[in-house]
Amino acid sequence: MGRDRLTVFDTTLRDGEQAPGFSMRIHEKIRLAKQLDALGVDIIEAGFPIASEADAEAVKAVAAAVRRPVIAGLSRACAGDIDKAGAALRGAARARIHTFIATSDLHLERKLNMTREACLAAATDAVLHARRYTDDVQFSAEDATRSDVDFLCRVVEAVIAAGATTINLPDTVGYSTPDEIAEFFSSIIGRVPNADKAVFSTHCHNDLGLAVANSLAAVGAGVRQVECTINGIGERAGNASLEEVAMVLRVRPDRHPYDMGLNTRALYATSQLLTELTGQAVQSNKAIVGRNAFAHEAGIHQDGILKDRRTYEIMRPEDVGVPSTTLVLGKHSGRHAVQKRCEQLGVALTRFEVDRVYRRMVSFADAHKHVTDAQLRAIVDEVKTGEAAGAAAPGQAAPARVRPDLHGTVAEPGYGHGV
């Protein structure tokens, strides 16, 4: 029996691009859209056409350039926005209009100055209007998780009756916890009589660091579309990270028996392209695609990895497109890692030389944080050619030796602390 298939709704080009520092020009959006296509996402939300002429042109250009995925355009629940989105999507092979309105009393009263009844009417009219352009209409209830559940159920029932085929109930400000999200979706899906006529979607923000956990909880409660972004970019603290959701499903099918239909080997390349286009680096310790995600410096960890990488890696780097595990040489590294790196550099060392190279490397790393291949070679050369000349008399400490190519002093510690 196959696993349930989840629809991947990527909003890197819309919600992600709204984040400060992440804006992209039209040709850059097209490059990323083509990479998202190669990754295998189902839906690309290409922009918010009413926001600017450039955004409208970007949606139009992406729709023309990328033909397999559904191309979505965002619109508020008003005719002008929907007409603009419909025009931008006219050339798409498969088009979706994504229309939204806030449903929480806080937003209705303080932002929109609108009654609940006016909101309900606007939502219904928007879906009916969007259906003039496409049969694929998504409705989002902004700030859904802070909305009155009874009223939200009325809205969801009405927009499904009007023709919405996907219902997104976003945690717009990242306020919820996984148990709340699960209860929330279970309640809505259970109470809305025509819920089976639409696909429910989750769109979680990361203000409390729970976007991925909340998305997975929503899926467990019956949601079958996950909205996410590459590298988790987006408004404020960002959105659910596509690569994290995807790899949770791959690594833990026992707990999350779902498939996203993605080519996960393209995850790293997609992440790197986004970094290239925006100039915004991924944090080093970012799960899945961060520089340190498959890097090991601690001697105990390096020793385990060299014996069986499953000891400290729950997924293979090649499964996400990372070339290989990296053993970083630093002050926490062990002899085995040093010896292995020397072997990879084509350097043969005796057991005595390994010990001397290791101790000098650790001392250097104490001052310089990490050791490059060139610096390791210099240390090896020093050990092989200079030990006899620099040896201390019995009972005396060996002098510290300065090497310009090492950019510092190499002093030999009394004890190593690797494994």
Same domain for 135 and 259: yes
Same domain for 236 and 100: yes
CATH, residue 71: 3.20.20.70
Same domain for 17 and 49: yes
Separation in Å, CA 157 to CA 54, 100, 150, 162: 35, 15, 11, 9
Digit-by-digit pLDDT tens for the chain (419 residues) are 467 999 999 999 999 999 999 999 999 999 999 999 999 999 999 999 999 999 999 999 999 999 999 999 999 999 999 999 999 999 999 999 999 999 999 999 999 999 999 999 999 999 999 999 999 999 999 999 999 999 999 999 999 999 999 999 999 999 999 999 999 999 999 999 999 999 999 999 999 999 999 999 999 999 999 999 999 999 999 999 999 999 999 999 999 999 999 999 999 999 999 999 999 999 999 999 998 898 887 888 888 888 888 988 999 999 999 977 777 788 888 888 888 888 888 888 898 899 999 998 888 988 887 788 889 989 999 998 865 444 433 333 444 443 434 443 333 333 333 33
Within a domain: 238? yes
Same domain for 52 and 149: yes
Within a domain: 117? yes
Other C-beta atoms lying within 10 Å of the C-beta of residue 4? 11
Cβ-count burial of 411 within 10 angstroms (0-12 exposed, 13-18 middle, 19+ buried)?
middle
Within a domain: 53? yes
Are 6 and 259 spatial neighbours (Cβ–Cβ below 8 Å)?
yes
Q: What is the DSSP letter of 311?
A: G
What domain count does the chain have? 2
| pLDDT at residue 401 in the model | 43
Same domain for 229 and 80: yes
Give CA–CA dist 369/92, Å, rounded. Answer: 52
Query: Helices 178-191 and 211-220 sit at what angle, rounded to 10 degrees?
Result: 30
Give CA–CA dist 404/382, Å, rounded. Answer: 12
Within a domain: 59? yes
Give CA–CA dist 354/277, Å, rounded. Answer: 43
Within a domain: 289? no
Backbone angles phi, psi at 306, to 5 degrees: -65, -30
DSSP 398-415: PPPEEEGGGTEEE---SS
Among candidate residues 248, 278, 308, the one where a domain is terminated:
278
Among candidate residues 250, 278, 306, the one where a domain is terminated:
278
Within a domain: 355? yes
Same domain for 163 and 208: yes
Count helices and strands (H / E) in the chain: 14, 14
Write down the pTM of the prediction.
Answer: 0.84
Same domain for 419 and 274: no
Same domain for 191 and 328: no
Residue with tokens 């025009």: 87
Residue ranges making up the domain that contains 236: 4-278
Same domain for 312 and 259: no
Q: What is the DSSP letter of 289?
A: T
Within a domain: 285? no
Same domain for 300 and 226: no
Same domain for 61 and 204: yes
Among candidate residues 278, 306, 334, the one where a domain is terminated:
278
Report the phi/psi class of residue 234: left, alpha or beta, with left for phi > 0 and alpha for psi in -120 to 50.
left
Instruction: Reduce the DSSP state of residue 89 to 3 states and report it.
Output: coil
Give CA–CA dist 172/184, Å, rounded. Answer: 14
Same domain for 263 and 173: yes
Within a domain: 283? no
